[in-house]
Amino acid sequence: MKKTIGLGLLFTLLSSAVFSQTADPYMWLEDVDSERSMEFVNQHNTGSVDVLNKLPTYQPIYDKCLEIYNSTDRIVYPTTYGDFIYNFWQDKEHVRGIWRRSPKADYIAGNPKWEILMDIDAMSEADGVKWVYKGAAGLYPKYDRFLVSLSNGGGDAVVIKEFDVNKKAFVENGFTVEEAKGGVSYIDENTVIISTDFGPGSMTTSGYPSQAKVWKRGTALKDATLIYTGDINDVGAWGGVMRDGAKAYTIISRAITFYTSETYVWMDNKAVKLELPEDAESNGFINNQYIIALKSDWTVRGVTYKQGDLISLDFTELLKGVYQIQLIYRPDEFSSISGVSATKNKLLLELISNVNGELYVYTFSQNVWTKEKVKAPEYGKISVVDADEFSDKYYFNFANFLTPTTLYYADAASGDVKAIKSLPAYFDGSKFKVEQFKATSADGTLVPYFIVSSKTAANNGHNPTLLYAYGGFESSSLPFYSGTVGTAWLERGGVYVLANIRGGGEYGPKWHQAGLKEKRQNVYNDFHAVAEDLIKRKITAPEHLGIMGGSNGGLLMGVAFTQRPDLYKAVVCQVPLLDMERYNKLLAGASWMGEYGNPDIPEEWAFIKKYSPYHNLKENAAYPEVFFTTSTRDDRVHPGHARKMVAKMESMGYKVYYYENIEGGHAGASTNEQRAKSAALEYSYLWMKLKH
């Protein structure tokens, strides 16, 4: 992606770099593709892989994981556009994948007739580019054209091309956007709203677009009409189209921080701002009701709507500045909203109650919302997969740790529900049990967590145990079904633990906000408390306890072993943030200052530096031999975090393991073979460290 900065900013960055290089001898590893950096990567990859892939567990785990990932018995997930079901599919014949469609009636009947629209493997070979499919947005209502996003190597930056699904070809002289972090949406057949890298001054310090433009077919992008410009220090500004049936609204979203934004409606050639709380979360439209979730209390005309509430506003009146508000749902102390979607006439609400899923259908009639609980399985995760905008039909998933994921087809109007496809049982769930406990954190907060273990496991302190958590960005960690965890860990005698620490969204916005910025240590204390509780219950002991987490969870891993090396024997630290002094200067890092704080402000660096893993490494500490993983093509969390941590630890005499996939983006892998290799390396490392 092109990057353009002003001379003043360039001077500031160069001055900072000169200073930082003096303090940080490993900053050269932030140069992603330099010859010196790649030599470092290749040497460490070779050294670690040569050890781990020779372990007796490696090949069996790799073979089984690849079998699972390539299985034709996997669920074919639907995306409904008009009369067709669309699906992206990867297997051993289609390593990079195919984009395909089937008539909707055939899919629902269980006999889909797939028509391949785009072969990513063939395209990659023809273009000499490792293309990764990143999604498609269709043209309402016929959906005969799509704007398809393709990434070179799996990063967030994408090339966008217009595609004709009937001709199965890219549209000649159609809408085409060069590689950038941005987006394009159809306003009509010949008009799109676009946010991308338009050149100097058009990108924020977070690396996202700051402008939205309206672009007409047949004209040059440089001639597109500018309709909005945000601030360079915002996270970004994006244009899009939100539909309420046949009615469409052209929307501009200015993301001030990761958690605050302004919303504008482009109408009558002007941007009309919606006067709503900046931390409110938009959830779309249904029958002229604009659905928003509140992250803090909001008082309107003497009525206070509470943090965590889901409310609706009459949109026609809102555009006039008049608030006609209806309360849809108010969570209690142990519940929260995990998802909101809509069919043609019904609102679908996914809830979490005591970290278990529930699903409700809401109907708006005579200015009142009424609800009906969906007849879905209990004690697991429920998530709406797809909803048909032209009917009240929809699909949802159910899964828990021991029940294979099942896709359901449902009718929100009649209440009918039927299972249409389940994953095969990749392992025998009847041999295992699931328990839920609560650990007491340092400030007395009770932190829930799940344990999955053999029914015959003894609480003798000898069980190899893997503790996983995320703890950030209001992302909830819910029960799930994983053939990889089941076959690579549980069936081999391991205990799996999922912790619902603060920073997540399990108990709503308050649970998340209890771990923001200066409160961040609460997240880490919660994690330590769960580990201590596992040891106290004699489920495991420090010499048998391993931990795993990625991205923000990778930061959690770095903090965990630098703060409490006495608790952990093995650490899998995936695509992590680790240098919290420079994270806001690397790739998308500046966009996360709403979560962690700004290290350039002395008062905020004062609390960040207390936990920044890169800055809290100590000589002669009893650290475990950590396994760091990342991706060269990760353009969200910079691979320099992991690289520098490895270099610094080795300079102190610590042994570590390191694997950097050359492609894969923030997901760490682009193909099933790459996913199987990563899993085999990680679980082989864990067994090497934690077995009896």
Q: Of residues 631, 666, 678, 684, which has the active-site annotation?
A: 666
Q: Is 419 helix (H, G, I), strand (E, B) or coil?
A: strand
Question: With 0-12 CB in 10 A as exposed, 13-18 as middle and 19+ as buried, what is 300?
Answer: middle
Tell me phi and psi for residue 518, to 5 degrees.
-70, -10
Q: Which one from 151, 551, 631, 684 is the annotated catalytic residue?
A: 551
Distance CA 40, CA 46 (A): 10
Tell me if residue 338 is catalytic: no
**Strand order, beta sheet including 79-81:** 79-81, 84-89, 98-103, 115-119
At residue 424, what are phi and psi to the nearest 5 degrees? Answer: -65, 155
Written as six digits, the tokens of 493 are 């005698």
Which residue in 571, 574, 595 sits closest to 584, CA to CA?
Answer: 595
Give the tokens for residue 38: 């790649």
666 is catalytic: yes
Residues 6 or more apart from 38 whose CB is under 8 A from it?
Answer: 632
Residue 44 CA to residue 147 CA, distance in Å, equals 39
Q: What is the CA radius of gyration of the chain?
A: 25
- H or E segment at 422? strand 417-422
Q: d(Cα 21, Cα 26) in Å, to the nearest integer?
A: 8
Torsion angle of C-alpha atoms 594, 596, 598, 601, degrees rounded to 10:
120
DSSP string, 52-90: HTTSTTHHHHHHHHHHHHH-TTS----EEETTEEEEEE-
Burial of 129 (0-12, 13-18, 19+ CB in 10 A): middle
HSE-CB for 600 with a 13 A CA cutoff: 11
Q: Which residues are catalytic?
A: 551, 666
